[in-house]
Amino acid sequence: MYPDQFEFHRADSVSEAVELLADNPDAELIAGGHSLLPTMKSGLASPDALVDISDLDGLSGVERNGEVTHLGAMTTYATVADDDDLWEDATVVAEAASQVGDRQVRNRGTVGGNIAHADPASDLPAAMLAANATVHVHGPDGERSVEIDDFFQGMYATAAGEEGVVTGIDVPEEGENTASAYVKKPAPASGYALVGVAARLTFDGDEVTDARIAANGVMDHGTRLPAAEDAIEGESVDADAVAVAGDAAGDSLDEYMVMEDQQASQEFRLQLLSAYTERALETVGERAGHM
């Protein structure tokens, strides 16, 4: 199908993009286009105007600032997944990026577009939650930083709002006592996450002193799993503790809000959530040398 007609603006700066969005309530930013164009072609979205931010200076690339890695919003998944230092510093983010779609999607899709779009089945939301990232947003009221725990607000809804441009994401370095992983059950047809689980554990010796565990594909947006975090904190990552945390994974979720569609029932998603929480924790335990 062909999309409806639309105006096309190529922004020369982030400020201009913000102004164009404010002046055109039905305008949409276009970054990699890998979510927006399919929805326009299928008639699910018909923006009056597109604001292209793909050529803006400073929005692309991976930059290290001390113990934080800055990912420009227009950085592609391929760039992230091919960055050896990121696999060391924030494994969960590199691993999630490496599992997005296929090589063609990873060459065009962007990290900013992924989290701004906030598709419940996307891979990066849980990874960014586990990594404890900070999102930089430029909106009509200027620039602000949003903690990742406050960023995802619902299906396709974020703290960036309709008029905010995500300009970048800061990912803290894991440090030598921390390890992380992202594992997912891909939907067979699309590759999106039926369920994906991201985990980052910090250890003191064998004991887990801090856990950040989050899931995609289960609720209407990427979400932390506090019951699983509580279950593994204070424990060593052995088979028993991993099984208890896996069992607990769904306990903190509102069961009536668990996603259900033609791909998976609520019951099946919760079973996957338990199994993939266990897998994520096992993988982190192995990487940290504790299993």
Ligand X SMILES: Cc1cc2nc3c(=O)[nH]c(=O)nc-3n(C[C@H](O)[C@H](O)[C@H](O)COP(=O)(O)OP(=O)(O)OC[C@H]3O[C@@H](n4cnc5c(N)ncnc54)[C@H](O)[C@@H]3O)c2cc1C
Q: Which residues bind ligand X (CB under 6 A)?
A: 28-36, 38, 73, 100-101, 105, 109-110, 112-114, 116-117, 119, 122-124, 160, 165-166, 190-192
User: In the complex with ligand X, which residue's Cβ is closer, 89 or 119?
Assistant: 119
Q: Give the residue with the Cβ less far from ligand X, 56 or 245.
A: 56
Min separation Cβ 184 and ligand X, Å: 8
Q: Which is nearer to ligand X, 76 or 202 (CB)?
A: 76
Tokens, residue 259:
């996603």
User: Of 278, 256, 264, 266, nearest to 192 (Cα)?
Assistant: 264
Select 98 or 266, whichever has its Cβ closest to ligand X. 98
Min separation Cβ 263 and ligand X, Å: 13
Quote the least distance from Cβ 203 to ligand X, whole Å.
Answer: 29
Q: Quote the CA–CA distance of 123 and 29 in Å, as a whole number.
A: 20
Q: Pseudo-torsion of CA 224, 160, 194, 203, nearest 10°?
A: -30
Q: What token pair was written down for 20? A: 């164009």
Paired with 65 in beta bridges are 68
CA dihedral sign, ordered 82, 129, 247, 192 = negative
Between 107 and 252, name the residue whose CB sits nearer to ligand X.
107
Q: Which residues contact 82 (CB under 8 A, 6 or more apart)?
A: none
CB of 235 to ligand X, least distance (A): 31
Please answer whether residues 57 and 16 qualify as being in contact, where contact means their C-beta atoms are separated by less than 8 angstroms: no
| Tokens matching residue 37 | 């164009």
* Shortest reach from residue 74's CB to ligand X, in Å: 7
Q: By C-beta, is 32 or 285 nearer to ligand X?
A: 32
> Which secondary structure element, helix H or strand E, spans residue 30, and what is its range?
strand 27-30
What is the smallest separation between the CB atom of 118 and ligand X, expressed in angstroms? 8
